[in-house]
Amino acid sequence: MKPEILVVAPNQPTQMAVLDASYNLHRYDLAPDPQALLAEVSDRIVAVVTTGGRGLNAEQIGQLPNLQLVASSGVGYDTIDIPACSERGIVVTNTPDVLTDDVADTAIMLLLAARRHLVQADRYVRSGDWGRNGPYPLLSAMRGKRLGIVGLGRIGQAIASRAAPMGPEIAYTGRIRKPGVDHRFEPDLKTLANWADILIVATSGGADTQGLISAQIISELGPQGTLINIARGSVVDETAMIAALKSGDLGSAGLDVYWNEPNIDPALWLLENTVLYPHHASATFETRGAMAQLVVDNLAAFFQGRPV
Ligand code: 8YV
């Protein structure tokens, strides 16, 4: 008998076809009445397929008495109730490593776009303002600037190695000093933000980092400062950030993540000094394919008794 799997959020089409051939899939994501579907199949479900975005909450976990595995696509697992899984010995898998390059590329893209006004300058050219009003105002170079990275995990380190050739000074903060890393460790986030011209948020989401980039940290970064967030919206006090971007107390921002996705705070739409990306850092064919394949591989390993 094929194991029965609840699809809370789908995988890429190629890998969904593979899953469909190997398992009995129940499409919670497509069900007109998901509760009715659960009432019918919940006892038989042994694994869930989901994404970092959709996750799996305590209530859903509680409704699946025989759940053994949650296979998620995404490095972040802040949307999955880990304590509820741990309590019942439910295995949770994510997809680190394969998305590191794309997410780090996105951080650099947002950084350059925000600092060099890519979006505003594009508009300046297209509108004919260049011809009418003359050269675009001068902007600020990367070389010699101070770049602070919040969270020097795999993604933070990939961002640092991409930024280094552009010539900024680099320092980082996090729970611990990373062994074998040359960049300066600054244990205090406030001190790092005060020192930095640019702060890139690359830490994990969840309760531990909720609101870490507070009004005070934003004000330390200051009017010439740039905030880049490719981590989770929850890490930044978005209300404080929007207020600071509006008043000029924060110079600029480049954002891939928000409090309320995909219906972000409309106040952000109006901010000229902000570059917005639709939580799309890992969204290339190659990376999403590799993430989806890891989900398939983790399911196969689990059901064959191999390490996930
Ligand atoms: C996606 C992400 O949102 O990996 C993560 O944690 O934020 C992204 O890759 C995602 O989980 C898509 O499946």
Q: How confident is the model at residue 3 (pLDDT cuts 50, 70, 90)?
A: very high
Could you confirm whether 232 is annotated as catalytic? yes
183, 232, 238, 288: the catalytic one is 232
pLDDT confidence bin for 33, thresholds 50/70/90 = very high
Average pLDDT in the 3-11 region?
Answer: 97
pLDDT at res. 43? 98
User: Mind listing the pLDDT tens digit for each residue in 104-119?
Assistant: 999 999 999 999 999 9
Amino acid code (one letter) for 241: M
Quote the CA–CA distance of 288 and 274 in Å, as a whole number.
26
Atom number, ligand 1, closest to the C-alpha of residue 257: 7
Among residues 261, 272, 280, 306, which one is catalytic? 261
Report residue 14's pLDDT band, with 50, 70 and 90 as the boundaries.
Answer: very high
pLDDT at 166: 98
Q: How far is CA 179 from the centre of its chain?
A: 24
> CA 183 to CA 152: how far, in whole Å?
10
Label residue 303 exposed, middle or buried (CB < 10 Å: 0-12, 13-18, 19+).
middle
pLDDT confidence bin for 174, thresholds 50/70/90: very high
Q: Is 184 among the catalytic positions?
A: no
Report, as an integer, the average pLDDT of 141-159.
98
| Any ligand 1 atom below 6 A from CB of 106 | no
Cα of 160 vs centre of ligand 1, distance in Å, is 21
Contact 183, 160 (CB under 8 A): yes
Active-site option among 26, 54, 183, 279? 279
* Alpha carbon of 75 to ligand 1 centroid (Å): 6
Q: What SS3 state is found at 201?
A: strand
Pairing assessment for the beta strands 69-73 and 274-276 based on DSSP bridges: unpaired
Q: How far is the CA of 139 from the centre of ligand 1 (A)?
A: 33
Mean pLDDT of the 214-242 span: 98
279 Cβ inside 6 Å of ligand 1: yes
Ligand 1 atom with least separation from CA of 279? 3
pTM: 0.96
Average pLDDT, the chain: 98
Under 8 Å between Cβ of 239 and 213: no
CA pair distance 288, 275, nearest whole angstrom = 23
Residue type, 307: P
Distance CA 198, CA 200 (A): 7
261 is catalytic: yes
Dump strand ranges (E) for the chain: 4-7, 24-26, 45-51, 69-73, 91-93, 146-150, 169-173, 184-185, 198-201, 226-229, 252-255, 274-276
Summarised one tens digit per residue, pLDDT across range 77-90 is 999 999 999 999 99
The pLDDT confidence band at residue 44, using thresholds 50, 70 and 90, is very high
